[in-house]
């Protein structure tokens, strides 16, 4: 990891199209809050890591819950549907005569 020191209004450039600028610093020490501005091309996704981590955690939890659901064998039901005679219906919902 590259660690740099920047002051307010100073920037870091990543590649040709990404600029990270220090906009504001409030407080000091562990309570300090740093506001940054990010300029990037529209095809570059900029995400807050903690939000992405939470979404991934929720997705894993949901997937695990789905994996524990009981499965139902519908083979017999589908075979029953395939053996039923079909009825022809016209565009008005009326039964057509064969």
Is 82 within a domain? no
Residue burial 60-83, b: 16+ Cβ < 10 Å; e: rest: eeeeeeeeeeeeeeeeeeeeeeee
pTM strictly above 0.85: no
Q: How far apart (Å, rounded) are the C-alpha atoms in residues 92 and 87?
A: 14
Is 43 within a domain? yes
Average pLDDT, the chain: 89
Report the pLDDT value the prediction gives residue 77, as an integer from 0 to 100. 82
Pair type for strands 18-26 and 11-14: antiparallel
For the chain, what is the domain count? 1
pLDDT, tens digit (0-9, with 9 covering 90-100), for 20-56:
999 999 999 999 999 999 999 999 999 999 999 999 9
Range of the domain at 55: 11-67
How many residues are recorded in the chain? 98
How far apart are the two ends of the chain, measured CA to CA in Å?
A: 76
Is 18 within a domain? yes
């Amino acid at each position: 990891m590259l660690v740099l020191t920047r002051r307010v209004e100073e920037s870091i450039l990543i590649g040709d199209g990404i600029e990270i600028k220090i906009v504001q610093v409030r407080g000091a020490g562990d309570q300090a809050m740093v506001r940054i501005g990010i300029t990037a091309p529209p095809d570059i996704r900029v995400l807050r890591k903690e939000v992405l981590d939470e979404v991934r955690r929720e997705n894993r939890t949901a997937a695990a819950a789905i994996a524990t659901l009981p499965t139902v064998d519908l083979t017999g039901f589908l075979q029953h549907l395939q053996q039923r005679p079909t009825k022809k219906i016209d565009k008005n919902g009326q039964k057509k005569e064969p």
